[in-house]
A and B are shown apart, each in its own frame.
Chain A
Amino acid sequence: MPINLDTIRGMPYFSGLDDSALAAVSRYFFEKKAVRGDTLVFEGAPAEVLYFVVAGVVKVFKTSADGKEQILHVIRPGDSFNDVPVLGGINLVSAAAMSAAVLNGIKKKDLEALSKEYPRIALNVINVLSQRVQEMIELVEDLSFRNVSGRVAKILLEHIGTGGGENPRLTQQEIAAMIGTAREMVGRSFRTLEEEGAIKIERNLIVITDKAALRKIAGIIE
C-alpha cells in the first residue's frame, strides 16, 4: 500500500522537504502490521529498521534478568521508535505491540542513502536524536537523583482513606504530576514498594501493609 505523503510530511525526520523529495522518500517505506503482543524489536539484536507508528500503540521496554519488564516509552501514532540504535548499532531495548498496530518502516541503509541525497534529512536526524538524548537525560535524572519511590511513598501516606470512597482518589497520572516524574516511573515505584513489603495492590486499592516501612522509605523521621 502506498504511503501517504502527508503522513511522511508529519514525521520530524522529513519535515521541510518539498513534494518531490517526499515522493522519493515514500518509495523506501514499507508497511508492517502487528497484532497485540507481537515483539517488533528484540533487545540485543542488530537494528535494521526505523519504525513509525501509524495506528495502535507500541511499548518500548527493557527486561531484567529475572524477567521484570520496565516500560520506558509508550509510542502512539505519529511517533517513531528504534531511532538511536538504527543510527548506531544494536537494539538497547525491545519493542512490542500493545494493540493491533500498523507501522511504517524504513531500512537503515535507505535512510542513510536518503540523508546523503537530501541533507535536510540529516539535519532533521540530528534534531530528533537531540530530543532523544534530552529524554534519556531526564530518565537518568529520575533514576539517579530523584528518590521517586520515596516521594510516591509520601504521597500514599498523605492520602490514606478508609476504602469507602470518601477520600480523594489518586491516579498514577496525578501522582506523576505531583512529584514531577513520568507515569511509567510511578508504576515502577509501586512495584518497588510492593517488593519492599510496604504496600500491596489489590485491584483499585493500594493497601499499606507496613506503615512504618513506608514512612522510612518516605524519609519521615520518627
Chain B
Amino acid sequence: MVSNMPVIDTEKCDKCGLCISICKCGILVMGDDGVKAIESEDCSRCTTWCNTCELVCPTGAITCPFEVVLEDGRE
C-alpha cells in the first residue's frame, strides 16, 4: 500500500520547523528527533498531498512520494 503520509528522514531534519509552519493539514509536529507526521489507524488528514512541506524543506528531509499508475490498466 502506498504511504498516505509524507516521509521524513530524521537524520536530515534540522528541526527548523518550516514544514510545520506551512502544513495546512496540521499533521506535522516536532518530536525529539525532528519533525514527525502524526499517525493514526485511518489517517487521511494529509488531505491534499500539496507537496508544500517538501518544497520548503531546506535540507530535503521531508518528501511526498507518489506512485505512477495507468488508469484502469489501459494502454
Interface residues of A (CB under 8 A from B): 36, 56-57, 71, 74, 76-77, 98-100, 156, 159-165, 167, 169-174, 183-184, 187, 200-201, 203-209, 211
Q: Are A160 and B68 in contact (CB under 8 A)?
A: yes
Q: What size tier do the contact residues of chain B reach? A: 20 to 34
Please report the number of residue pairs spanning A and B whose Cβ atoms sit closer than 8 angstroms.
Answer: 107
Pick from A57, A99, A159, A207: contact of B71, CB below 8 A: A207
Closest Cβ neighbor of B74 among chain A residues: A211
Residues of B with C-beta under 8 A to A77: 16, 18
Q: Are B56 and A74 in contact (CB under 8 A)?
A: yes
Contact, CB under 8 Å: B52 / A98: yes
Known: A98-B56, A99-B21, A164-B1. A211 touches B68 (CB 8 A): no
State the CA gap A18–B65 with chains docked (Å): 47
Chain B residue nearest to A169 in the complex (CB) = B65
Task: Please tell me if the beta carbons of A204 and B4 are within 8 angstroms of each other in the complex.
Answer: yes
Question: Contact between A204 and B58 (Cβ–Cβ < 8 Å)?
Answer: no
Contacts of A162 in B (CB 8 A): 69
Output the nearest chain B residue to A186 by Cβ-Cβ distance.
B51
Chain B residues engaging chain A, CB cutoff 8 angstroms: 1-4, 16, 18, 21-22, 47-49, 51-52, 54-56, 58, 60, 63-71, 74-75
The one of A99, A160, A170, A187 in contact with B70, judged by C-beta atoms closer than 8 angstroms, is A160
What are 21 A-B interface contacts by the 8 Å CB criterion? A36-B21, A36-B22, A57-B21, A76-B56, A98-B22, A98-B52, A169-B67, A170-B66, A170-B67, A171-B63, A171-B66, A172-B51, A203-B47, A204-B65, A204-B66, A205-B2, A205-B69, A206-B66, A206-B69, A207-B69, A211-B70
Which residues from A are CB-within-8-Å of B68? 156, 159-161, 167, 170, 205-206, 208
Residues of B within 8 A of A172 (CB): 51, 54-55, 64
CA distance A187 to B66 in the complex (A): 13
